[in-house]
Structure 1
């Protein structure tokens, strides 16, 4: 098919254009009737929603740094220890999930130096437990190398090219447009796509919208609506009761404020539980559920 040949040319040339190849792949996915392929292409072009699963190539290792003080000395850019953290929190802090569109990734890849990602204050108490000499964390951030962004582009290009080469071998040039969707199903294009892009036997949800729907069920300053949503997402009654106490201790916040210290501490503890027997939810999903629901309870960024 002509469109497949065009995509192969774009991906295999001396100056490959991944973005343009993705746009043509969107046209191809529509013609084939392959919704999962289209959803992946859309996610790469527009960015991955906060509640969507990420392909493994968009997860990058990250080192944690901070500004620390003991009241007499201040150290900037100090590498912060993480070995003392629970494994769930450690994995969360040492992994950067890149949800930006491929155009943004390409922009980052052409910048000089390293990029940093600010960490929320609720992680500070856990991080400073690894410090000696009475030091506390004033700020914290994660760093990963620019090469990681280049690797994302390489992975998208390579995986999409693998898929196009398989399609080029199996789809005849003269297939009628009226038969192409049926032929796509007969040839198992959906499985070809999953194998080439995500790996065999991997299921991934790159759809969007569940967190926004979740947040819309939380009413500002109505703790019962917040508790109901958290319970629906696997948070147990004891943890909800602890959050209610933390909210009461922190008192109200205005719409421009961040959560109070007790609520931040509670969120940090819950993220550490994610992926364990006590809360069977992924780290990224946990962070999204808590941030979305609690922010709507406080009326922050509504």
Structure 2
């Protein structure tokens, strides 16, 4: 049986072992040559480093309760604290928890069905006098619903299945990979196709453009939204005026096809400005800029 079929069989079990499944997916990713997929699998299997970005599905909201003491021995115990107050007087970061643990650990936590508590002792100082004026805050508890943890497991499971289904449909070679047999047609085109499928199924609207030197540029553009396109192109290395200029052109033209989303005016603009990118005047090379603008147009037109 191929590795892809083994993954599909295992992921459809009632209580799949996601840690083992990810190891098989990591093997498949290495055979297909997709580094972004391999990196994601590694993070999910081993946990996310502190300096690594955590996917949105691994961010869960927190709820807060606290205890206060007042005059004449009065007190308030286990009273809910609005998250809006926490965000206002502490920061929005306090209202969310980023799961960096391995998926095996998250799966164990989900299976326990217990509410997860987060150390929120620093909030005592930050919220002192902000919730109940003239009352002393003694303790604050931050908690996460077990349903939120279970949702992480379900999301990873669903995206692995969706990924293998898309690989089966669009990259036929993926079905041929076994422990004994390495596909002979592994090419940059295959790796690019696998990476595209991975980006679409795992990260959704976020697109990653891989440069020739291996660097990656991430685009998060909302279809039909010129503001997000200008912002993302500027973040990627285009000067602000250039980002706005090409965005206006793309907004006025219609896509020719998914393979050729850029219209004649956009292509002419790229040709005209290519020397600026090649000279180093922009923070992005000319070859990468073309791929970047193509991906940006696809996102803007809602084709990806």
TM range (shorter): 0.5 to 0.7
Report Cα offsets for 1:232-284 as digits up to 9, x if no partner. xxxxxxxxxxxxxxxxxxxxxxxxxxxxxxxxxxxxxxxxxxxxxxxxxxxxx
Write out aligned runs for 1:1-302 (5 A).
2-70=2-70, 72-84=73-85, 87=88, 89-121=90-122, 123-169=123-169, 170-172=171-173, 173-174=175-176, 177-185=183-191, 188-203=193-208
Q: Say whether the 8 Å CA contact 1:80–1:127 is kept in structure 2.
A: no
Pair 83,23 (structure 1): closer, same or farther in 2 beyond 3 Å: same
Distance 1:18 1:81 in 2: 35
Query: 1:147-201 CA distances to partner (integer Å, 9 max, x unpaired)?
Result: 1111101000101111111111122345862322445235x11111011001133
The offset of 1:76, in angstroms, is 3.5
Give per-residue Cα distances to partners, 1:8-28, cap 9 Å, x unaligned: 111123343322211100111
Give the gaps of 5 or more residues in structure 1. Answer: 205-302
User: For each residue in 1:67-116, what CA deviation from the matched residue of structure 2 results, as whole angstroms up to 9, or x when unmatched?
Assistant: 32236334442222343455594422221111111111111112243121
TM-score (norm 1): 0.60
Residues 32 and 194 of structure 1, relative CA distance in 2, 3 Å threshold: same
Contact 1:70/1:133 (8 A) holds in 2: no
Deviation at 1:118, TM superposition (A): 1.0
Higher RCO (CA < 8 A, seq sep 6+): 1
2:57 aligns to what SS in structure 1? helix
Answer whether contact 1:82 1:127 (CA < 8 A) is retained. no
**Is the contact made by 1:67 and 1:140 (CA closer than 8 Å) also made in structure 2?**
yes
Alignment length, in residue pairs? Answer: 202
TM-score (norm 2): 0.60
For structure 2, the residue ranges without an aligned partner over 5 or more in a row are 210-304
Is the Cα contact below 8 Å between 1:3 and 1:24 reproduced in 2?
yes
Distance in 1 of aligned mates of 2:47 and 2:78: 30
Distance 1:94 1:192 in 2: 32
Q: Assess, with a 3 A threshold, how the Cα gap between structure 1 residues 100 and 118 changes in structure 2: closer, same or farther.
A: same
* Structure with bigger gyration radius: 2
**Quick one: structure 1 residues 51 and 107, their matched pair in 2 at CA, closer, same or farther if it must change by over 3 Å?**
same
Q: Determine helix, strand or coil for the equivalent of 1:110.
A: helix
